[in-house]
Chains A and B, each alone.
Chain A
């Protein structure tokens, strides 16, 4: 029975995908959207069932469906594992997924390819579930690549626009760079332990006789995979570009779920990373730098979705910082709270964009507070949450990260704190520019300003509520999440007692957030500052505005040489190689034409050569004697 339910949980979105891809065009848009949403809701409900079951008996649920890949030293089956970690992920993936599906029914209603949108979204949820529930790394890899594919399809959803397609392609390829790392990591693990099953790797690692250098390499490779998927330095540049996709996609894939797959994977393999402190240090440093760099870029962006995208990268960096410090629960906690408020922010920005008929530039917004009150209030709550204001969800999770960082390394703590202050600043900058003061768009837009329909606002409200209370799952004191995840993690967690130091740190974090807010308030409300036009930006801010020219740097360093090499191969080396082959023919031809000259029909010459030849033979025979 459980097997069937688990299968239903997995396949329900897939059924939705099949329905929408084959029949979506024939049925009305409403039905198409409803079926898409319903299939995800089914998965959500089943996740709750399994969650309840697990809470009761505490036993993870594992089944093997069928044999899959078989190589010389091990055999892999297609297995499902529902334990604490995967169920936690399932809950918020399918939960937020359902909300975003619901939201999309209204948001995408005017698009002629709405059934395809739902098909892709369903496919994404299916692959995300596969990623989460697999009982070995290879099944995770199916989901891993599958979500990459869906991300590609959805970023390039408006396929008539070639820059969007470029962004989609970039996302896919950047992800594939990470995937190669993942693949190599799997190979090393498979070679070391002859298995890819989590439980078996765990017990093999625990026995502790593996080569630690190779283990470190494997962990590093897996982390490269995580970098690709979770947009960490140096592979983060695809995520801001991915905002080309429809806003619900950005909310679902590029904020709440897919990008957290890297964190899921590292948490899943925590027993491996725990044994490789060097790699953990790398993870922490990369996370911290990513958080800082992305936050600083976010300071000056003018596209509302780009700000949120860089904010996502920055928050993901904080999560990796926590992972690198071995505080897996804290990272997971932040993943969950982040999913709530970031999804809410994206959906809210979608609502704004919807209201303005596609305008994304914040310089042309402003004063929307009155026209869109629900959107404003929900986004405000989420902004407070992400800025880390007491008692919203983000405060608790971010604060824990900062505390852990303080406990390990003061430098990391300072970097993370600066990133948090920047976060507070640019988020409030976003809010002020969008909702406060007077409207800066065209008269016509102003005329049409309206609050979004119910289907859009209901998910917003739900998510805002979650952004308020989400912190409750792991309040200092109760630590429910910590206890819940204990079976999955190698228990070495230092318990926080709420001492003076902790309260001081909380206070510092709160003060930092408030400084950011005040700063933003001073600049954008008091002075009424509106960001300049692109051409007028100069100096260091221009560098930041252009994202430190990282894209240009990559183009210069990788894409251009590759294309140049390709051109060189195509226009020079290929013909040259061809000529070498033809060379044999040419040589034969040359010998032939020289020989032809000898065969010139001159009888005198023939006679001469003939006689000389005989003489030569006789002489040779004589000498050879």
Chain B
């Protein structure tokens, strides 16, 4: 057992546990906090894979921006009480069945398809430094990149419009 592997297992267990707790916690605030932890652990995976840029972005966007937004919303709505009514039992049972079924199915699929995986190769090139990524992003993916910015702009305008109080509403 190499330290890397141990790290991976630890991180994986942490990720799954926090993800599960996110869903299972009754208090939305707790959920949000578990989700932050989940995001951070995923960042850990990225670092393990040496994807520094994505890891940083993950931290900033998810753990930072998005989660703050969520927390704000939760608090705005004053949802920190544990007053959520459960879904009907049959639905919950269905959810669990689906969960188990899906996991089994997907895992079986990937186990079955393992044979066509080749050897892990290493080109030796530095393919995931910020420098390389930036070149790819701003050369080949220039147009989608710009579209992404437009998308974000539109999302911002939309959000503002949606949340604005309509004056002439009775």
Contacts and interface: CB of A to CB of B under 8 A. Distances in A.
Interface of A: 608, 611-612, 615, 618-619, 622
B91 A608 contact: yes
A606 to B, nearest CB: 13
- Nearest 6 A/B pairs, CB to CB: A622-B105, A615-B98, A615-B102, A619-B105, A622-B109, A618-B105
15 contacts: A608-B91, A611-B98, A612-B94, A612-B98, A615-B98, A615-B101, A615-B102, A618-B102, A618-B105, A618-B106, A619-B101, A619-B102, A619-B105, A622-B105, A622-B109
Interface string B93-106: 01000100110011
B129 interface: no
B89 to A, nearest CB: 14
B61 to A, nearest CB: 25
A605 to B, nearest CB: 9
A612 B98 CA distance: 7
Contacts of A618: 102, 105-106
Contacts of A622: 105, 108-109
B106 to A, nearest CB: 7
A529 B102 CA distance: 112
Contacts of B105: 618-619, 622
Contacts of A612: 94, 98
Nearest to B91: A608
Nearest to A605: B91
Nearest to A614: B102
Given A611-B98, A618-B102, A622-B109, 6 more contacts: A612-B94, A615-B98, A619-B101, A619-B102, A619-B105, A622-B108
Nearest to A616: B98
Contacts of B98: 611-612, 615
A615 B98 CA distance: 7
Interface in B61-98: 91, 94, 98
Contacts of A608: 91
B90 to A, nearest CB: 11
A102 B153 CA distance: 114
A133 to B, nearest CB: 93
A608 B91 CA distance: 9
Interface residues of B, number: 9
B23 to A, nearest CB: 14
A618 B105 CA distance: 8
Contacts of B94: 612
A622 B103 CA distance: 12
A291 to B, nearest CB: 90
A608 B95 CA distance: 9
Contacts of B101: 615, 619
B49 to A, nearest CB: 27
A619 B105 CA distance: 7
Contacts of B91: 608
A611 B94 CA distance: 11
A622 B107 CA distance: 11
A622 B101 CA distance: 11
A619 B109 CA distance: 10
Contacts of B106: 618
Interface string B103-117: 001101100000000
B104 to A, nearest CB: 9
Nearest to B106: A618
Most buried by A among B91, B94, B98, B109: B98
A612 B95 CA distance: 9
A618 B91 CA distance: 20
Nearest to B105: A622
Contacts of B109: 622
A404 B73 CA distance: 122
Contacts of A611: 98
A208 B152 CA distance: 106
A608 B90 CA distance: 12
A608 B94 CA distance: 10
A277 B109 CA distance: 92
Contacts of B102: 615, 618-619
A618 B110 CA distance: 13
B5 to A, nearest CB: 30
A22 B102 CA distance: 95
B142 to A, nearest CB: 34
A611 B108 CA distance: 20
A608 B97 CA distance: 13
A622 B91 CA distance: 24
Nearest to A623: B105
Interface string B21-39: 0000000000000000000
A502 B108 CA distance: 117
A611 to B, nearest CB: 8
A612 B91 CA distance: 11
A613 to B, nearest CB: 11
Nearest to A618: B105
A611 B105 CA distance: 15
A16 B63 CA distance: 115
Nearest to A619: B105
A567 to B, nearest CB: 55
Interface in B12-68: none
A612 B106 CA distance: 15
A618 B102 CA distance: 8
A608 B98 CA distance: 11
B103 to A, nearest CB: 11
A502 B36 CA distance: 136
Residue of B91, B94, B105, B109 ringed by the most chain A CB atoms within 10 A: B105
A357 B105 CA distance: 108
B144 to A, nearest CB: 26
A524 to B, nearest CB: 101
A365 to B, nearest CB: 98
Contacts of A615: 98, 101-102
Nearest to B94: A612
B108 to A, nearest CB: 7
A622 B109 CA distance: 7
A600 to B, nearest CB: 15
A618 B94 CA distance: 16
B91 to A, nearest CB: 7
Nearest to B108: A622
A146 to B, nearest CB: 82
A285 to B, nearest CB: 84
A372 B98 CA distance: 114
B110 to A, nearest CB: 11
A438 B73 CA distance: 125
A603 to B, nearest CB: 13
B80 to A, nearest CB: 22
